[in-house]
Amino acid sequence: MKLENVVPWGRNLAEYREMHLYSDADKHKNILGCGDGPASINSELTQLGVNITSIDPTYKFSKDEIAQRVDATASVVSEELRRNREDFVWKNIANIDDLIELRLSAMNMFLTDYESGVKEGRYIYQELPKLDFKDNSFDLAWSSHFLFLYSEHFDFEFHKSSILEMLRVANEVRVFPLLDLKNEKSVHLKPLLRFLKEKGYIYEIQKSDYEFQKGADEMLRIFKVKDKDAS
C-alpha cells in the first residue's frame, strides 16, 4: 500500500460507542480494532484502562508521514463533502465545519498517541484477511467503515476470509456499516449471512445509534461457535 493512496479519516470514542453499541459491559473486554486507521479510539480507551489493539496497513508509516498525509488531504475531503452533503445525515453532526473539526481532533489525538502506542504494541501493522495473533486472543474484534463499505474493491471471498479470521482470534465480531459507498446494502451481505448460517454461527443485525452515511445505521454482530469447520 502506498501512503499517497490513503485518505486518513479518524473517528472518536463517542462515534464508536454509537456505531458498535460499545457499552460499560464491554469495558473489561480485550478488543481488536481491524482497520482503525487514524481514529482516536485506541488512545481514548487506553486512557480509560481498556485493553485494545488496533491494526491497520497505515501503521507501517511514521507519525510524520501520516501527519503530512492528513494535512495534504484535509481540504480535498472537505470540498468533496460539500459537493456531496446530501448523501449524509446531519443529525449527530451539525454541519461540515463541525465534522472537519471532529475528524481533525480525533486524528491529532491519534498522532499524539501513535509513537508510544507503537512501542506498547497497541498499533500494529497488519491487515485482513490474515492476522498474526493466536486463536482466541481477544474477546471482541470490530471493523469500522472497511468491510462491506468497500464492496467494489474487495470481493466476497475477501469478506468471508476476513470475518472468519476475526472469529478465529476473537469470541465476537462487530461490523459497521452494512452499506457500500453508494449507500446500498453490500452485495456481499446476503451470501455472507447464508454462509454463517450454514456453518452454525450465531449472528444478528442490530440497529446502531449512529447514522451519518444515509441509511447506514445497522451493525452485524457475530458470535463465536466453538469446534466449527468454517473452511
DSSP 2: -
Residue 64, pLDDT > 60, answer: yes
Residue 229, pLDDT > 60, answer: no
Round the average pLDDT of the chain to a whole number and report it.
92
Q: Chain centroid to CA 113: how far? A: 18
The C-alpha atoms of residue 138 and residue 140 are separated, in whole angstroms, by: 6
The C-alpha atoms of residue 55 and residue 125 are separated, in whole angstroms, by: 6
Mean pLDDT value of segment 153-166: 97
The C-alpha atoms of residue 125 and residue 59 are separated, in whole angstroms, by: 5
Residue 189, pLDDT > 70, answer: yes
| Rg of the chain on CA atoms, in Å | 17
Helix (H) or strand (E) holding 97: helix 96-119
pLDDT tens-digit series, residues 1-59: 555 555 677 899 999 999 999 999 999 999 999 999 999 999 999 999 999 999 999 99
Quickly count: other Cβ atoms within 10 Å of residue 47's Cβ.
Answer: 12
Output the pLDDT for position 76. Answer: 83
Output the pLDDT for position 9. Answer: 79
Please say whether the beta carbons of 34 and 128 come within 8 A.
yes
Output the pLDDT for position 79. Answer: 86
- pLDDT bin (cut points 50, 70, 90) of residue 228 is very low
Output the pLDDT for position 4. Answer: 55
The C-alpha atoms of residue 166 and residue 130 are separated, in whole angstroms, by: 9
pLDDT tens-digit series, residues 102-145: 999 999 999 999 999 999 999 999 999 999 999 999 999 999 99
Any bridge partners for residue 31, and if so which? 52, 140
Output the pLDDT for position 186. Answer: 98
Output the pLDDT for position 1. Answer: 52
In the numeric block, the cell 451519518 is attached to 212
Cis peptide before 129 (omega within 30 of 0): yes
